[in-house]
Amino acid sequence: MSKKITLITGASSGIGLELAWVCARNNHDLLLIARHEDKLQELTKAIKEKYSVSVDYLPYDLSEIKSAQEIYNHCQAKDLFIDVLINNAGFGDWRKFIDSDIKRQLDMINVNISTLVYLSHLFIKDMKNNGGGKIMNIASAAAFQPGPLMSVYYATKAFVLHFSEAIANELKENNITVTAICPGPTASNFKKNANIGNSRLMKKRNLPSSKNVAEFSYRAMKKGKVVAIHGLINIIMTKLVNIIPRSIVVKMVRKIQEEF
């Protein structure tokens, strides 16, 4: 019989790292994916020392589309059944689209969308054949509106949200739940990687910890929620954008995204 495994992408830092700890605490055997092999090694060792769970890792750059198939092939070769798939990997970029590096934007689409879709498509077939499973996709509170100065990032997260809701509906009959997690700004490496530290969105704010978001996300997934928005302010804002004219919403987002 295949061994049941929880696969987490982007597991070397931030929310993904904390999700690894939360899952290990709840007795999940783990397969951790990220680019940085040294960080994966360190995390794997630390989890094994604290919890009696199996932990393995694969260093992959998920901006390379072929990585999804290679990860799946590894699981097949090792007879691993991924019954929980956590698509956490993702990144942003803070600047006007016209001034951006187009390769970075396309890599963002590959990581935030293409590889997420590819992994989901590969593993849900096995989940269906094995009687069920769970998928967690990390979207964002950004998914509910356009985002000037982070146009591609906001658009990718809108895709993740809508995709998750759609397949959640399709997969009900197969005992597979799909949960889209929508956190707002979080204390993690995202701010540094996206170069967004000087925006009004990030400056002088008490940001929730990655650990707090990870624990919230795990609870939402276990309950089988389809959409889970983290934080009262984010819940209110996602409701407001439905009643405020979109031309005003775009201006508001631009204002909070601008340099402080």
Residues annotated as part of the active site: 153
Question: What DSSP character marks residue 198?
Answer: T
Rounded Cα distance, 46 and 207, in Å:
26
Reported as type and span, the H/E element at residue 13 is none
**Which residues of the chain form beta strands (DSSP E)?**
3-9, 30-34, 55-59, 80-87, 133-138, 176-182, 227-229
- The pair of three-digit structure tokens given for residue 143, joined into one six-digit string: 């998914």
Rounded Cα distance, 256 and 203, in Å:
10
Contact criterion met (CB below 8 Å) for 32 and 55: yes
Rounded Cα distance, 239 and 159, in Å:
18
- For 19, counting Cβ atoms within 10 Å of its Cβ (0-12 exposed, 13-18 middle, 19+ buried), the class is buried
Rounded Cα distance, 211 and 70, in Å:
29
Rounded Cα distance, 181 and 227, in Å:
6
Distances (CA, A) of 46 to 4, 27, 49: 21, 15, 5
- For 2, counting Cβ atoms within 10 Å of its Cβ (0-12 exposed, 13-18 middle, 19+ buried), the class is middle
